[in-house]
C-alpha cells in the first residue's frame, strides 16, 4: 500500500498523465526537434536507416542553394555550335553524359542544350542531313542563389533536367542537373556507365601522401600501409574516419588517427568519398 496521502497520490497521477499526453500532443517547434523525433523513430525500427538518410537529405536540400552543388564551368563538357560531328562526337562518347551545353565563341554565350539521343539521325539519316542548329533545345538559366527545393520543383513541373547557372556578374558559373539534386537527397547515383576501378582504391601522390577511396575495406588499408586499424568495428576506412570526426566532415577537414592524418577531399551530404592520407613519417 502506498504511504502517500490520497490527495498527493492523485496529484502525482495527474502529473504523470499530463506528461504522457504532452508526449503525444506536442508538435515539434523546430527542425532540430523534428529530426530528433525522426531519429528516435528509426532507432525503434519504425523505418530503416536508408529511409532516415533520405528524410534527412530532403530536409537539408531546402537549406541548400544552387552554388553549393553546381558543376563549375571549368568541368563542363561543351559543344561549339560551329563544330562538325567528327569534332564533337569523340568528346561526347568519352564523357558518357546525356546533355551538353552548346556554346558560341565563349562559355558565357550558350545557344542551347544538346541531348545525346537527338544525335540518332547521324546513325540513321546520314551526316549530310544533320544540323546542330536545328536540334538543340532551349537553355534554362537560373541564378546561383536559387534554393534547391524550388529548382527541383521547377525541374519536375517544366520537365527539363539541366539548367545553366549565372553568377552575380551575369556570366556562366556552371550548370546543375536534376540528378545533382537527387544525389543530395538519396546519395550518389551510379549507372552502368560509371566505372569503378577497385585497383585504384589507394593511389600515391608525392612523397608520403596518398589519395584513398573512403570505401576502401579496412583490411585492404591495413595490408597496404601495414597499419593496425580494427577490422571488426568498421568495414571501410571511411567508417573509421567518420567515427573519429563524430560528424559528416566536409572538404578540407582533417583528423589524425594513430598517427595517420586524414583530410577529406570529397564528400556529399550522405557520405565520405575521397581522403588524402599521410602516414606517420616512420612508415
What's residue 36's pLDDT?
Answer: 82
Instruction: Kindly tell me the sign of the dihedral angle through the C-alpha atoms of 67, 69, 73, 77.
Output: negative
**Mind listing the pLDDT tens digit for each residue in 90-147?**
888 878 789 999 999 899 999 999 998 888 777 666 555 678 888 999 999 999 999 9
Cα(123)–Cα(120) distance, integer angstroms: 5
Q: What's the CATH code of the domain at 235? A: 3.30.465.10
Higher pLDDT, 181 or 56: 181
pLDDT averaged over every residue in the chain: 81
**Mind listing the pLDDT tens digit for each residue in 231-258?**
888 899 999 999 999 988 887 889 999 9
Q: Are residues 129 and 214 in the same domain?
A: no
Q: Are residues 85 and 121 in the same domain?
A: yes
What's residue 20's pLDDT?
Answer: 46
Integer-rounded Cα radius of gyration of the chain: 26
Q: Are residues 178 and 206 in the same domain?
A: no
What's residue 39's pLDDT?
Answer: 81
Q: Are residues 75 and 160 in the same domain?
A: yes
Q: How far is CA 129 from its chain centroid?
A: 41
Confidence of residue 18 (pLDDT cuts 50, 70, 90): low
Does residue 122 fall inside a structural domain?
yes
End of a domain among 134, 157, 185?
Answer: 185
Q: Which three cell numbers stand for residue 23?
A: 508526449
Residue 282 has pLDDT above 90, yes or no: no
Find the mean pLDDT for residues 179-197. 66
Q: Which three cell numbers stand for residue 202?
A: 589507394
What's residue 243's pLDDT?
Answer: 92
Residue 45 has pLDDT above 90, yes or no: no
What domain range is 91 assigned to? 67-185
Q: Are residues 208 and 257 in the same domain?
A: yes
What's residue 123's pLDDT?
Answer: 64
Q: How many domains does the chain have?
A: 2
Find the mean pLDDT for residues 10-14. 54
Q: Which three cell numbers stand for residue 262?
A: 586524414
What's residue 126's pLDDT?
Answer: 54
How many percent of the chain have pLDDT more than 70? 81
Higher pLDDT, 45 or 171: 171
End of a domain among 150, 185, 220?
Answer: 185
Q: Are residues 82 and 171 in the same domain?
A: yes
Residue 2 DSSP SS3: coil
Q: Which helix (H) or strand (E) holds 115?
A: strand 106-115
Find the mean pLDDT for residues 54-67. 83
CA distances from 251 to 211, 263, 264, 276 (A): 14, 8, 5, 11
What's residue 90's pLDDT?
Answer: 82
Q: Are residues 130 and 239 in the same domain?
A: no
Please tell me what DSSP assigns to residue 196. -
Amino acid at each position: 500500500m502506498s504511504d502517500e496521502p490520497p490527495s498527493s497520490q492523485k496529484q502525482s497521477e495527474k502529473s504523470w498523465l499530463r506528461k504522457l499526453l504532452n508526449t503525444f500532443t506536442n508538435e515539434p517547434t523546430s527542425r532540430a526537434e523534428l529530426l530528433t523525433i525522426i531519429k528516435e523513430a528509426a532507432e525503434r525500427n519504425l523505418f530503416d536507416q536508408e529511409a532516415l538518410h533520405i528524410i534527412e537529405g530532403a530536409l537539408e536540400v531546402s537549406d541548400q542553394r544552387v552554388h553549393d552543388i553546381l558543376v563549375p564551368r571549368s568541368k563542363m563538357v561543351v559543344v561549339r555550335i560551329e563544330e562538325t560531328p567528327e569534332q564533337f562526337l569523340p568528346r561526347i562518347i568519352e564523357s558518357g553524359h546525356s546533355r551538353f551545353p552548346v556554346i558560341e565563341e565563349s562559355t558565357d554565350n550558350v545557344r542551347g542544350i544538346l541531348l545525346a539521343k537527338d544525335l540518332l539521325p547521324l546513325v540513321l539519316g546520314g551526316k549530310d542531313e544533320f544540323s546542330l542548329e536545328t536540334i538543340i533545345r532551349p537553355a534554362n538559366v537560373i541564378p546561383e542563389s536559387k534554393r534547391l527545393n524550388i529548382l527541383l520543383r521547377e525541374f519536375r513541373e517544366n520537365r527539363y533536367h539541366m539548367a545553366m547557372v549565372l553568377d552575380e556578374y551575369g556570366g556562366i558559373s556552371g550548370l546543375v542537373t536534376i540528378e545533382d539534386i537527387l544525389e543530395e537527397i538519396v546519395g550518389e547515383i551510379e549507372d552502368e556507365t560509371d566505372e569503378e576501378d577497385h585497383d585504384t582504391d589507394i593511389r600515391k601522390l608525392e612523397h608520403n601522401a596518398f589519395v584513398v577511396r573512403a570505401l576502401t575495406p579496412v583490411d585492404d588499408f591495413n595490408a597496404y600501409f601495414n597499419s593496425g586499424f580494427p577490422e571488426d568495428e568498421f568495414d571501410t576506412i571511411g567508417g573509421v574516419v567518420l567515427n573519429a570526426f563524430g560528424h559528416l566532415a566536409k572538404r578540407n577537414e582533417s583528423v589524425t588517427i594513430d598517427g595517420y592524418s586524414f583530410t577529406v577531399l570529397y564528400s556529399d551530404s550522405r557520405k565520405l568519398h575521397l581522403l588524402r592520407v599521410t602516414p606517420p613519417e616512420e612508415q
